[in-house]
Amino acid sequence: MGSKLVKEGLTKAPHRSLFKASGLTDEEMERPLIGVVNSFNEIVPGHVGLNDITEAVKKGVLMAGGTPLEFPAIAVCDGIAMNHEGMKYSLASRELIADSIETMTIAHGLDGLVIIPNCDKNVPGSMMAAARLNIPTIIISGGPMLSGRFKDKDVDLISVFEGVGSVTSKDMTLDELHSLENSACPTCGSCSGMFTANSMNCMSEALGIALPGNGTIPAVFSERKRLAKKSGMKIMELVEKNIKPRDILTEEAFKNALTVDMALGCSTNTVLHLTAIAYEADVKMDLNIINEISKVTPNLCRLSPAGPYHIEELDAAGGISAVMKELDKKGLINKDVITVSGTVGEKIENAYKKGDKIIASVEKPYSQTGGIQVMYGNLAPDGAVIKKSAVDDKMLKVKTTAKVFESEEAAVDAILEGNIKPGDCVVIRYEGPKGGPGMREMLTPTSALSGMGLDDKVSLITDGRFSGGSRGAAIGHVSPEACEMGPIAYIKDGDIIDIDIIEGKLNVLISEEEFEERRKTTKIKETKYKGYLGKYAKLVTSASTGAICK
């Protein structure tokens, strides 16, 4: 691999001719060819500002003696895709992103990559491509948006989703909701809480494949452009030293990232994505390691939706480097692993944590254990995942009554019509990677319950996913999924489901004999799709393996 394949020697005269048709000079072709992957589009708010970041990256590459060559990648806005057929394409887009970056890079013999992602599946797809290709690569995201203000409170996108439930329960008027929707997302950037996009941008920093600040510097700050220039310059150093993603994305790096994940209280989707990135990097990672790390890692941050704070405040408090330095006080960070900018130890040496409000001290954390819990039981033999840090204490251990729905839309209708009562457990099935297909995020039902004041009274369980913005006892990724004959397919209205988030147990209270009888008599719902979703459904694996495609 590399540009020698496309530009050197007698037989590459035609290739050089085509590069010259694109405007390249001999001098530019003599330098390393650096792919600059620009995920700009005019739909996704996290991506509308990426042309500025891309231009800054290209200036950095030029300053350091490389030749930048820009090409695009797609991105889906999960918020706009939410609660309709479009959400089936969100997770599926991750594979398209990784595949397209792989295709462009190898087809054109590039020497290195600077990938510029920002939103939910675009970031992990970019990191999957980096691990798969294993040529020098650095990630520089577009950065988070600022939080908004409404009635003297900080608000974000989730506030608007929850506002729908508040209007339904008559706690908010339509005029107030309209004012809220005008205020909640005031700038470009990835949505301002510790939702999936920002979670994964923070993970890129914790893994070491991005420069310090990548996860938290706001999109509208000039510092973000300076970081982009530094990233463009840094890729030339990585190419010169031949430092590749798999040199960085080691087993110890993933343990560091999971530790930071638990401390931050990231989205449950990080479980899917870190597993998929590890697969591409040939690093073994199963769900059990998550619980092992969670047991010893204090939860230091309560950012939206788990608390009132936003990414801009995490940045001002010291960012990811400060979180890692605080965790190191308990010996939880491996400082010897390398990153794109030296070792972790060198990266965090001069980090400074401002106060204990945004980033708590390890001596007085928000919780002694991490923000994510993997659950097992007869309802989820291969595992399920919950964002424990966003669950009310009284919902951590409950017995609930199942109300079963065959789709997200049916569940949302029941919630908004007032048919879900305290003590109920909303079970949404056939929304898994294959069954959806595409494993839709369930932000609308969780937000509706929160807006109606039921998030501390009602549980949700699904073989689909929950948004990083979901709060409450929302258990997702139930594996095996319903369409693969998982036990969630056999649940009936009125079943008692025993939820113990503290111990990580998820069981339906029926006998083995009854389970076996249901297994024999349950008819699995079938859906057939043409086009990309049809191909995806045939290739995608379980959520417990990261919903990778094989």
Q: Are 490 and 297 in contact (CB under 8 A)?
A: no
Encode 104-143: b = buried (16+ Cβ within 10 Å), e = exposed: bbeebbbbbbbbbbbbbbbbbbbbbbbbbbbbbbbbbbbb
- The first and second tokens of residue 260, run together, are 């930071």
Residue from 142, 80, 92, 90 nearest 116 by CA: 142
**Annotated catalytic residue: which of 190, 192, 294, 467?**
467
Q: How many other C-beta atoms are found inside a 10 Å radius of the C-beta of residue 324?
A: 25
Q: Is 467 a catalytic residue?
A: yes
Residues 148-181 as b or e (16 or more Cβ within 10 Å = b): bebeeebbbbbbbbbbbbbbbeeebeeeebeebb
- C-beta atoms surrounding 25 within 10 Å: 10
Contacts (Cβ under 8 Å, ≥6 apart) of 135 = 1, 2, 105, 110, 111, 112, 113, 244, 245
Closest C-alpha to 340, from 248, 418, 267, 447: 248
Pairing of strands 474-479, 496-500: unpaired
Q: Is 425 exposed, middle or buried (0-12, 13-18, 19+ CB in 10 A)?
A: buried
Residues 318 and 264: beta-carbon distance below 8 Å = no
Contact 328, 415 (CB under 8 A): no
> How far does CA 212 lie from the centroid of its chain?
18
C-alpha dist (Å) from residue 224 to 53, 141, 529: 8, 9, 41
Calculate Rg over the CA atoms of the chain.
23
Burial tier of 418 (Cβ tally within 10 Å: 0-12, 13-18, 19+) = exposed
Which residues does the annotation mark as catalytic?
467
